[in-house]
């Protein structure tokens, strides 16, 4: 894996992100690709059973946010709790880390596949410590096929959770300004690491092929629901005192 440098960690602290180009390849990349069609098929089936074309922020044949796939495809644990993610979590979160959320984010070839400006924290609630998002490109990502656009802290002026408004599509939206953001153009296997408080969006897929991304999110503590009564997402501990304690 690409080495995480002190400069990258400084950038994460100051701007909210860093990028590891071609961090995974070969078997690791193929493992993540193997779950993509399953993720699509699962949501298509759910929408068919409900007799709808939209389910939450998912749109059939357009965009898919298929979460907790690893619970049905346990082979994905080899990546989620493997050496690559352990190295990133130690560098960013420290010696203790928990898997918080996991999902495939897939855009089909359709102009109606953009995703509004938001913070990942905007899909949780106000009272939690910012967590780490690892946005893993499974295909070469360009502006044409739906790249993610980041607003680094220095451009947004925002480092903490802000209130979101829900759009007609169901997207949570927190930015209405004119800054187009910084496009992330990376080859397959790259990992974009950013804080859950970084404002970002993604463009539409204007090509004739899928744009597939795997999202793995980790926290330094168990994130509870707004009432503080139960875990909001996953609560499986990955690292304890710097050592991997989750079973792959």
pTM over 0.85: yes
Number of structural domains in the chain: 1
Q: Residue 107 sits in a domain of what CATH number? A: 2.60.120.620
Of 91, 81, 84, nearest in space to 25 by CA: 84
Is 183 a domain residue?
Answer: yes
pLDDT at 1: 58
In angstroms, rounded to a whole number, what is the distance separating the alpha carbons of residues 168 and 76?
A: 34
Nearest to 132 by CA among 88, 80, 171, 73: 88
Lowest-pLDDT range of 18-22, 79-83, 110-114: 110-114
On whether residue 24 sits in a domain, the answer given is: yes
Kindly state whether residue 234 falls inside one of the protein's structural domains.
yes
pLDDT per position as a tens digit, 166-214: 998 888 999 899 999 999 999 999 999 999 999 999 999 999 999 999 9
Task: Decide if pLDDT at 138 tops 70.
Answer: yes
Judge whether 95 lies within some domain.
yes
pLDDT exceeds cutoff 90 at 2: no
What range defines the domain where residue 183 resides? 6-239
Look at residue 113 and tell me whether its pLDDT is greater than 70. yes
């Amino acid at each position: 894996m690409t080495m995480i440098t002190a400069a990258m960690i400084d950038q994460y602290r100051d701007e909210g992100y860093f990028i590891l180009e071609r961090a995974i390849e070969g078997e690791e990349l193929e493992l993540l690709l193997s779950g993509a069609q399953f993720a699509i098929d699962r949501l298509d089936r759910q929408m068919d059973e409900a007799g709808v074309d939209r389910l939450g922020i998912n749109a059939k044949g357009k965009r898919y946010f298929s979460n907790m796939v690893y619970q049905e495809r346990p082979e994905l644990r080899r990546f989620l709790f493997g050496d690559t993610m352990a190295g990133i979590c130690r560098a960013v979160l420290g010696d203790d880390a928990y898997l918080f959320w996991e999902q495939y984010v897939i855009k089909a070839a359709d102009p109606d596949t953009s995703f509004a400006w938001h913070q990942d924290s905007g899909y949780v609630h106000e009272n939690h410590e910012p967590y780490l998002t690892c946005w893993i490109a499974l295909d070469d990502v360009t502006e044409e096929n739906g790249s993610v656009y980041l607003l680094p802290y220095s451009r947004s002026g925002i480092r903490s959770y802000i209130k979101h408004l829900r759009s007609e599509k169901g997207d949570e939206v927190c930015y209405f300004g004119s800054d187009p953001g910084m496009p992330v153009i990376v080859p397959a296997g790259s990992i974009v690491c950013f804080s859950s408080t970084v404002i970002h969006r993604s463009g539409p897929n204007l090509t004739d092929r899928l744009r597939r991304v795997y999202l793995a999110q980790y926290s330094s503590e168990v994130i509870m629901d707004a009432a503080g009564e139960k875990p909001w997402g996953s609560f499986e501990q990955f690292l304890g005192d710097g050592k991997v304690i989750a079973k792959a």
